[in-house]
Structure 1
Amino acid sequence: MRYGIISNEVSRELGFNLPMTLVWTGRDYYSGIVHEIILNELKKAFDLGIRDIFTLSEKEVVLRMKEKRKEIAEILRNLGPEKENKKLIQKYRGYYINTGTQARIAGNIFSLTPSILDIFVSVGFDGVSESWRHTLGSLEIEEGEFYKIERDVIYGDGRVTQIYRNVKALSEHNDEIDPLGILKKRDRKDV
C-alpha cells in the first residue's frame, strides 16, 4: 500500500493518469502438510486430543500448556539429586524444553505468508476455487484513494481459523508460562 501511495503522488506530480488501485488485506487460513506435522508435535507436547486443537478456546489451550509444564516441573522437583537421577532429569528437562520449542516453531509456521503453490497442493484446485468463490461472493469494498478489501480467505471448513488462534495463543504465552524459568534463558543463549 505504501508503494501505491508513493506511486500516486509521483504520478500526480508528473501529471500522469492515476491508475485504479485495489488493495486486498487479510490472510489465507489453511492447513498444509507442514501445519499438520507441527500440530501433531503440539498434540504430543501438550497431551492434546485429536479435536482439542480446533475445539478448545485459546484460554483452554494455554491452560493445557500451563498444566503440562507444571506437571513436568513437579516431576523434575521430585526426582531428587541430579547425580542419582541424571538420565531421568535430562529426559524430563528435554520434554519441558521441547514444549517451548514446539510452541515457538508452530507460531512461526502459522504466521508465515503461504505460497499459492502450497495452498493448491494442500487443498487442491477445486478447494481453492470454492474458497475464492465463497470469499468473492461476500466482499465489501471500501472506496477511497485505493479500493480496499479487508477479507480473509478460509480454505476448508471454518475450524481452521480456531487452529490459527490457538497456535498464536500458545506462541504468545510460551515464554511467560515457564515454572522452571529455563525457556527464556535458553532463547538468549541460542541467539
Structure 2
Amino acid sequence: MAQGLGDTIFVSGSGGSSIYGCISDRISKDLEFHRPITLAWQSKDRYLGMAHKIILRDLMKTFSLISEDFSSGFLKEKIEKKFNELSANLKDSKERDSREDLEYWSGLQNSAKNLLVFSRNLFATTPSFIDLLANYRSDTTIKIWENALDTQEVHEYGYMYQIRSDINYPGIFFPEIDPASFPELYTAIDNVGVN
C-alpha cells in the first residue's frame, strides 16, 4: 500500500500490529518496495477520570484513606491494617457466636476485597481515545500530546522507531493529587494484594 500511495511515514500501533509490520517490512525489503519510516508511540497514559474518581473515593471511605496516602508509599500498609481490623472483628464475632455480626464483618471484608480487585483492574486498563475525549477537551489533549512529543525519546527498534513519552493528564476530578505523582499512584494500587 505504501508503494502505491507513496507514503513517507507510517504511525503504527504498538500491539499486535507491530508483529505484522515486521513481517511486512521484511517482505517489502525483499521485493524492493518503497518502505516509509515507521513510528510507534509507546507510552503510558495516566489520568484520573470519572471512574477513577468514584473508585478512589470508595477506597478512601472503605480504608479510611486521605488523598496523600495514594502517593505516600504506605497505601499497602494502611489497607493491610484495615484488613487486620476486619479479621479481628470476624474472630471476635466467631468467638461470641454472633451470627449477625459474623455476617456483617464477613460482608465488609468481601466487599473490601472486591473493591481492591476492581481498583487494580481499572488502573491497569489502557484508556481508549474515546475515554480521554470524554474526560478532556480535544484542544487540551492536543497540547498535552504536543508537549509529550517535544520531550520524547526516540529509539530505533528493528524496522521501526519507537517514541517513548508517558503522559500524566491533569487531574480534573481529583485536583488535589498532582499528576506528577500518578506513576506512584498507579504502582501503589497495582501492588495492593488481595488475600
TM-score, length basis structure 2:
0.79
- Say if 2:38 and 2:161, in contact at 8 Å, map to a contact too: yes
CA distance in 2, matches of 1:45, 1:19: 53
Structure 1: 5+ residue stretches without partners: 176-191
Matched, 1:7 2:24: yes
Q: What residue is the counterpart of 1:155 in the other structure?
A: 169
| Correspondent of 2:110 among 88, 97, 100 | 97
Q: What residue is the counterpart of 2:92 in the other structure?
A: 78
| Correspondent of 1:116 among 126, 129, 133 | 129
Superposition misfits of 4+ residues, deviation over 3 angstroms:
none
CA distance in 2, matches of 1:43, 1:68: 11
CA distance in 2, matches of 1:32, 1:65: 23
1:85: how far off?
1.4
Q: What residue is the counterpart of 1:68 in the other structure?
A: 82
1:143: how far off?
2.9
CA distance in 1, matches of 2:140, 2:183: 16
Higher normalized strand content (fraction of residues): 2
Q: What residue is the counterpart of 1:189 in the other structure?
A: none
Secondary structure of the structure 2 residue equivalent to 1:149:
strand
Q: 1:76-100: per-residue Cα shift (whole Å, max 9, x none)?
A: 1112357x41121111111111221
CA distance in 2, matches of 1:129, 1:51: 29
Q: What residue is the counterpart of 1:87 in the other structure?
A: 100
AA at the equivalent of 1:153: I
Secondary structure of the structure 1 residue equivalent to 2:64:
coil
CA distance in 2, matches of 1:81, 1:162: 40
CA distance in 2, matches of 1:143, 1:66: 43
Secondary structure of the structure 2 residue equivalent to 1:158:
helix
Q: 1:120-156: per-residue Cα shift (whole Å, max 9, x none)?
A: 2213234313321221111121235211112211111
Q: What residue is the counterpart of 1:56 in the other structure?
A: 72
Structure 2: 5+ residue stretches without partners: 1-17, 171-178
RMSD: 1.8
Matched, 1:174 2:194: yes
1:73: how far off?
0.3
Q: What residue is the counterpart of 2:156 in the other structure?
A: 143
Equivalent pairs, count: 169
Secondary structure of the structure 1 residue equivalent to 2:61:
helix
Task: Quickly say closer, same or farther: Cα 1:148–1:50, change in 2 above 3 A.
Answer: closer
- Say if 1:142 and 1:149, in contact at 8 Å, map to a contact too: yes
Q: Percent identity?
A: 25
| Correspondent of 1:34 among 51, 56, 69 | 51
